[in-house]
């Protein structure tokens, strides 16, 4: 790989890491709003808006795992953890300082929106670390087993498996700490898992397109990784 190609690969890695971190942090900030979505009359989802950017994190780690390798994917996961903890500290500080009398958003409203962020981040981080490392490990297990072929298999198998863990852990923690009522657990577990599986299936063509483009741009063979 020449110097210009290496620089392009490094820039792309930073962009992918930025998208990953932004998606992860936004999940924890917006999770308190819930919505319903009728999927072509087949099934109606009732889920948190925090779930919307979350599948992007798994798409990004799969892209990085496929083209940059396991170590680079793990680096991004750790960076996401650090960023989330940092944002948590900022939110807690912002919630603690008193609002002025003329503040457009008063203290009570701010606390109602962001007051549960600490527990959400804690639950999310436990689930996130567990699920992401499972996702990366399974992805590379199947990559090695299939000798770099059958991208669809490792993409979907790793994501679906890790999503079972992620959805279960985060809901157990949120319900166990009283953030969400236990009566909502079964439906939220089902809806969250089905939604994530659906997105995993839908993003497979996107993953193929992006990895093909990277393989062409950097002149890689099937299963070959970019060294930066």
Q: Which residues contact 35 (CB under 8 A, 6 or more apart)?
A: 46, 47, 49
Mean pLDDT score, 51-71: 86
Q: Identify which of 95, 90, 116 has the alpha carbon closest to the alpha carbon of residue 33.
A: 116
Q: CA–CA separation, 130 vs 30, rounded Å?
A: 21
In a domain, residue 76? The reply is yes
**In this predicted model, what pLDDT tens digit does every residue of 146-161 receive, in sequence order?**
777 777 777 777 877 8
pLDDT greater than 70 at residue 48: yes
pLDDT greater than 80 at residue 67: yes
Q: CA–CA separation, 104 vs 110, rounded Å?
A: 10
User: Do 46 and 34 meet the contact criterion of CB atoms below 8 Å apart?
Assistant: yes
In a domain, residue 226? The reply is no
Q: What is the predicted pLDDT for the residue at 104?
A: 92
User: Do 191 and 46 meet the contact criterion of CB atoms below 8 Å apart?
Assistant: yes
How many domains is the chain partitioned into structurally? 1
Averaged pLDDT of the chain: 83
Q: What is the DSSP string of the chain?
A: --HHHHHHHHHHHHHHHHHHHHHHHHHHHHTT-EEEEEETTTEEEEEEGGGSSHHHHHHHHHHHHHHH-HHHHHHHHHHHHHHHHHHHHHHHHHHHSPPPTT-SS-HHHHHHHHTTHHHHHHHHHHHHHHHHHHHHHHHHHHHHHTTT--HHHHHHHHHHHHHHHHHHHHHHHHHHTTSS-GGGHHHHHHHHHHHHHHHHHHTHHHHHHHHHHHHHHTTPPTT-----
In a domain, residue 66? The reply is yes
In a domain, residue 225? The reply is no
Residues of the domain holding 82? 3-217
In a domain, residue 199? The reply is yes
Whichever domain contains 146, its CATH number is 1.10.1760
Q: What is the predicted pLDDT for the residue at 196?
A: 77
Q: What is the predicted pLDDT for the residue at 20?
A: 93
Q: How confident is the model at residue 98 (pLDDT cuts 50, 70, 90)?
A: very high
In a domain, residue 223? The reply is no
Lowest mean pLDDT among 46-55, 78-87, 103-112: 46-55
Q: Which residues contact 134 (CB under 8 A, 6 or more apart)?
A: 158, 161, 162, 165
In a domain, residue 228? The reply is no
In a domain, residue 159? The reply is yes
């Amino acid at each position: 790989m020449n110097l210009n190609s290496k620089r392009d690969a490094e820039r792309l890695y930073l962009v992918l890491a930025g998208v990953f971190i932004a998606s992860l942090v936004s999940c924890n900030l917006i999770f308190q709003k819930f919505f319903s979505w009728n999927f072509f009359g087949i099934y109606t989802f009732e889920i948190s808006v925090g779930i919307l950017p979350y599948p992007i994190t798994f798409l990004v780690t799969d892209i990085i795992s496929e083209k940059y390798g396991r170590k680079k994917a793990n680096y991004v996961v750790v960076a996401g953890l650090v960023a989330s903890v940092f944002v948590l500290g900022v939110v807690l500080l912002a919630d603690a300082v008193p609002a002025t009398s003329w503040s457009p958003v008063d203290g009570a409203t701010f606390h109602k929106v962001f007051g549960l962020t600490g527990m959400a981040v804690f639950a999310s981080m436990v689930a996130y670390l567990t699920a992401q490392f499972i996702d990366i490990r399974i992805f590379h297990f199947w990559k090695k087993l299939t000798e770099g072929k059958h991208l669809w298999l490792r993409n979907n198998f790793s994501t679906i498996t890790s999503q079972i863990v992620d959805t279960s852990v985060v809901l157990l923690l949120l319900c166990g700490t009283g953030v969400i009522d236990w009566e909502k657990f079964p439906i939220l577990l089902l809806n969250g898992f089905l939604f994530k599986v659906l997105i995993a299936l839908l993003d497979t063509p996107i993953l193929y397109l992006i990895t093909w483009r990277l393989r062409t741009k950097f002149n890689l063979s099937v299963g070959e990784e970019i060294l930066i």
